[in-house]
Amino acid sequence: MNQSANDDGFFDHCPWLFAAQASEEQRAVQEQRRKRLLAGPGEVRLGADCFVAETAAVHPDVLDLGDRSYIAAHAYVTGDIRTGADCTINPFTVVRGTVTLGEGVRVGAHTSLLGFNHGTAPDLPVHRQPVTNRGITVGDDVWIGSHVVVVDGVTIGDHCVVGAGAVVTKDLPAWTVAAGNPARRIRDRREPGGGGQGPAEGRGESQGGPGASAEQWPGEVGGVSRGASSGGAGQRSAEVLGESRGGPGGGACQRSAEVLGESHGGPGGSAEQRPAEVLGKPHRDPRGSVEQRFAFADLDEELVAFVGTARAQAPELLDRCRQPGSGHYVDRPGAQPTVRAHCDAVEIADLLLRDVPPQLTAAEHVQRLRALQDPGTGLVPEIGAAPPLPGPAGVPDDDGAAAYHVLCVGYALDLLGSSFAHPVHAVRNTTADRLVRHLADLPWRDRAWHAGAWVDSWATAAHWNLRLGAEPAAPGALEALFGWLHTHADPWTGMWGSPTPEAGRLQMVNGYYRLTRGSFAQFGLPVPYAERVIDTVLDHARDPRHFTPGRENACNVLDVIHPLWLCARQTTHRFEETRAWAAAQLTAALRRWHPGRGLAFGLTPDGSGPGREPGLQGTEMWLAIIWLLADVLGLADVLGYRPRGIHRPEPAATAGKASGS
C-alpha cells in the first residue's frame, strides 16, 4: 500500500518500493532532491528512475548513477562514485574514494566500500599522512552482503557473492562465493544448489545479506555438506544431454543444443545463460573441514616460498628461452623454436607475472601468434612448416603440432585479449555423420591417448568457432559428439578405451584427461560415471611403472589430478584417498624448481620429450598441476595465481574471459 509523504522516510529505507508505490506528491519531493544534487557541487549524473534518499549524505566529486539505481537512507557517499544500471546502495552504507560498480550490483546495509587509504610511514603521525587511492572495482551481477568491508585496491569480479560480515582485502575472481575475515573463497557460484533465495535476494533489501552464518550456508562455511547430492554424473548426464533412460528429454542430439547454446531454435539459450544447470555440484566444499585443512597446513609455507621464488625468477626464465636473433621462443636453450614454446611463455607470464612476456608488447605477441594461422583451414602449422592438411573430420590425425596448436595458440591469444583471426574451417565443415564415423574409427583399444587428444582438439576448435560467432561445425555435429561420448563411455571404468599389457591404464587415463578437458570440462558438462572414473584413476595412480619416485612426469601427474579434481566436483567418492595422493604429489612437486630455469617435464618411457631439462613446457604444466593439487587440498588461494589458459578450472564455454587472479 502507499505510504504518506511524511511517513518517517519510508521510501528512504525501502527505495525498491518507490517506483511501484510512490504517490505524485512523493515523486515531486524526489524530483526536488534530484535537482538539488544536479545543481550542487561536484559532477553529478543521475540515470532514469534513480532514487536518492533525503537522509543520505551524498557529497561527491563525481557521482554517475546508472538507470534504476538507488542510494538509501543514511548512506554516506563521497569521492568518485560510478555505477551501472540497477545498482543498490542500501541503508547506512559507506561508499568513499574511487568506487566503480558494474551492472546489477547489490550492496547490503552497513557495508563499507573504502576506495582510498592513508599512508603509514613512521615519520609522520597518521593524521598527517598522505591519502592514497587505487580504487575499488566491482563487476556485473555482484551481491555484497550486510556489514561487509571492501578495502582500497580490490577488484571483485563479475557474478560474485560476498557473505555478510566479510572483510575483502584481495581480488575475487568471477563467480566466487566468499566469506570470512579476511574473505576467502567458499565455492564457485555456478555450482548448483548453493542455497535458496531469500526475499532479500531478488529485491535487493538489506535483511541480512547473502549468508552470514553456517545456518544460512549449511556445510559451505564449515566445509562439510549436510545434504545429499541429486546423484552422480551417470544419473545427471541424462538430464543434461537427454539420454534415453526414461526421462522426457529424448536423445542427446535432441537436447544438447539446449545445453551447448546452439542457434538451432532450442529453448535453453546459451551456456552463459544457463551455467548452473550444466555444471557438476560438489557434495561438499573441496577445502574440507577445519581439521582436514589443518592436516595440510604445513604445506602453506612451502607454497608461499615456492610461488615467491617462481615469481621472482620468471623474467629470467622467460628471457633464457627466447632466441635473441629471431625473437622466437624455445622450450629450453639449444632447442628449436616452436609455436608451443611461445604459447607456454604467454601462460607462464600470465600465471606468475599477471602480465605478458616482457620481451614483446601485448600487441606484438598477438600479431605474431595470429599471423601463424592458415586462413584456408584455420589450422596453425609449426614455425617454418607448410600449412597442415586437415584430416577426414577436420583436425589432422597425425598427433602433430597442428592439432595441439588449436589449444595452445587459441588460449594464448585469449590470455592476450585477442582471438584467432579466422574460424577453424577444417572443423567448421565437419558434418555429424562424418564426425560419428571418425569417432568410431579412432584407435580407442590400444591408443586411447591419441583418440582422446583428437577429441580435445576437435572440440576446442568448435569452441573457438563459437567464440568467433561462427557455426562450430556443420549443424548437429557438436551435439553428435556429446551423444556419441555418452553412449560409448564404459560404465565399469567411466572411460573410453582399454588397458594395454605394455602400459596398463596409462593410455586410457591420459586419453581421458585430454578428451574431457576439451569436451565436458571446457563446455561445463558433468562427466558420466564419475565414481567409476575415480576408481580407475586411483588404481592407475598406484602403478609403479608410472608413479615410482623419479618416474613421474608432468603429463602423467596432470592426467591423474585433473580427472580426480573434475570428478570431485560431482561426488565425494574416495575423496580422502584423492587428498592423500594430492598431498604426496604436491610435496614432491614443490621441490622440483631449478633456480632461474623453472621446472622440468620429467622422464618419458621412450626417452623423448624435454625430459629432465627445465624449460617452458615443464614449467607451464607443473604450475597448473600444483594449482590443481593445492585446490584439492583447499590451499590454492595461498598460491595467488589461478590458471586462465588451457588448464583453467572454469568451463571456457561458460566463463568467457576470466578475470585475473
Q: Which residues are tagged catalytic? A: 118
Distance CA 555, CA 547 (A): 12
Cell of 478: 557438436
Strands 88-89 and 184-188: unpaired
Report yes or no: 575 and 285 within 8 Å, Cβ to Cβ.
Answer: no
Max CA pair span of the chain: 85
Report yes or no: 412 and 431 within 8 Å, Cβ to Cβ.
Answer: no
Query: In 3-state terms, what secondary structure has residue 278?
Result: helix
Query: In 3-state terms, what secondary structure has residue 145?
Result: coil
Distance CA 143, CA 204 (A): 9
Distance CA 514, CA 450 (A): 9
H-helix or E-strand spanning residue 36: helix 24-39
Cβ neighbours of 447 (radius 10 Å): 17
Distance CA 155, CA 99 (A): 10
C-alpha pair distances (Å), 68 with each of 15, 46, 85: 10, 9, 6
Distance CA 552, CA 588 (A): 10
Q: Look at residues 151, 117, 120 and name the one whose alpha carbon lies nearest to residue 132.
A: 117
Strands (E), 503-621: 599-602, 611-615
Those residues whose C-beta lies under 8 Å from the C-beta of residue 196, and which sit 6 or more positions away, are none
Residue 16 has phi, psi (to 5 degrees) of -65, -15
Question: What angle, 0 to 180 degrees and rounded to 10, lies between the N-to-C axes of helices 448-467 and 401-415?
Answer: 40
Give the distance from CA 548 to its chain's centroid.
33
Q: Look at residues 605, 499, 613, 631 and name the one whose alpha carbon lies nearest to residue 552.
A: 605
8-state DSSP, 399: -
8-state DSSP, 388: P
Report yes or no: 322 and 328 within 8 Å, Cβ to Cβ.
Answer: yes
List, in sequence order, every residue forming a beta bridge with 112; answer none if it has no partner. Answer: 94, 149
Distance CA 32, CA 39 (A): 11
* Opening angle at CA 394, ends 390 and 400, nearest 5: 55
Distance CA 273, CA 276 (A): 9
Residue 143 has phi, psi (to 5 degrees) of -115, 115
Distance CA 566, CA 525 (A): 10
Report yes or no: 67 and 85 within 8 Å, Cβ to Cβ.
Answer: yes
- Three-state helix/strand/coil letters over 168-233: ECCCECCCEEEECCCCEEEEECCCCCCCCCCHHHHHCCCCCCCCCCCCCCCCCCCCCCCCCCCCCH
